[in-house]
A and B are shown apart, each in its own frame.
Chain A
């Protein structure tokens, strides 16, 4: 898998630390972290990451709303939810907001790798489809 620049969005210090270590082991670089949805919007605009991992429950603005707003401004944004929310409705809302994958906490490195890889493939096939439609 190619090495990605990643923005990690989560209000949990321990999750940011764990997730960053795993992403590092997978060969990616965490270029920025954010603790709220609102911070995520600003961080995305400033660092233009290849991928965002997004929590749902956060102060200020939740991850689903932040995903929607980031995708409105940056339609190419690749966002994967990393969250403890297991409710089906929440998963659907996140995907409708534009997330390309969903990792349920507590997460494992192999699952994280699989979802990132699948999200990249989904975006690639979407891009191919879009260019053939044009």
Chain B
């Protein structure tokens, strides 16, 4: 499959799975999905972001970057009825966003699988600080914003993976 078509399939699958996962697991409806017009030269990452690397033919990093209010609602709903010790809230909040990207992208591998080629995923990495990433000329940046009543989730696809470490910094 041509690379551009595969990337389009990954974006489509990711958005569809995100929409259904938020609705079914959290009762949160997606109100709309927007995209930046033109080429993206700068990615702005919110202060809570979970990243997974997708290997095999896909070869991209997928970063789910959450606005704080949305992250808080997701955390509250996923930990409802659980004992979270005082002082461990941030740890669990990070675990919740990591689990969301892991589940959505893991489920997506069924949608963009190719014959007999294993699509590996890396364990999620959580970034807890906002950052801005300038695009270098051979990098691919794709970004979509998922809107909900509780705030936005930016879904960023960045690649190829060889250019970046697991925190979205360029590798020298």
Q: Do A and B bind each other?
A: yes
Which residues of A are interface residues toward B (Cβ below 8 A)? Answer: 11-15, 17-18, 21, 57-59, 83-90, 93, 104-106
> On chain B, which size bracket covers the interface?
20 to 34
Contact B118 A90 (CB under 8 A): yes
The digit string for B61-105, where 1 denotes a CB below 8 A from any CB of A, is 000000000000000001101100000000110011011001111
Contact A58 B123 (CB under 8 A): yes
Which residues of B are interface residues toward A (Cβ below 8 A)? Answer: 21, 24-25, 78-79, 81-82, 91-92, 95-96, 98-99, 102-111, 113, 116-123
Contact B102 A87 (CB under 8 A): no
CB closest chain-A residue, reference B75: A14
A35 to B6 alpha-carbon distance, docked (Å): 32
Contact B82 A84 (CB under 8 A): no
Q: Chain B residues near A105: list those with CB within 8 A.
A: 102-103, 106-107
Q: Chain B residues near A86: list those with CB within 8 A.
A: 106-111
Q: Chain B residues near A84: list those with CB within 8 A.
A: 102-107
A87 to B121 alpha-carbon distance, docked (Å): 11
Contact B106 A85 (CB under 8 A): yes
CB closest chain-B residue, reference A60: B123
Contact B95 A87 (CB under 8 A): no
Contact B107 A89 (CB under 8 A): no
Contact B103 A106 (CB under 8 A): yes
A19 to B79 alpha-carbon distance, docked (Å): 12
Contact A87 B103 (CB under 8 A): no
Contact A59 B123 (CB under 8 A): yes
Minimal beta-carbon separation of B105 from chain A (angstroms): 8
Contact A21 B82 (CB under 8 A): yes
Minimal beta-carbon separation of A23 from chain B (angstroms): 14
Contact A12 B82 (CB under 8 A): no
Q: A13-B92, A18-B82, A86-B110 are in contact. List 6 more A-B contacts (CB 8 A).
A: A14-B78, A14-B99, A17-B82, A21-B82, A89-B116, A105-B102
CB closest chain-B residue, reference A59: B123
Contact B117 A89 (CB under 8 A): yes
Of A17, A21, A59, A88, the contact of B113 (CB 8 Å cutoff): A88
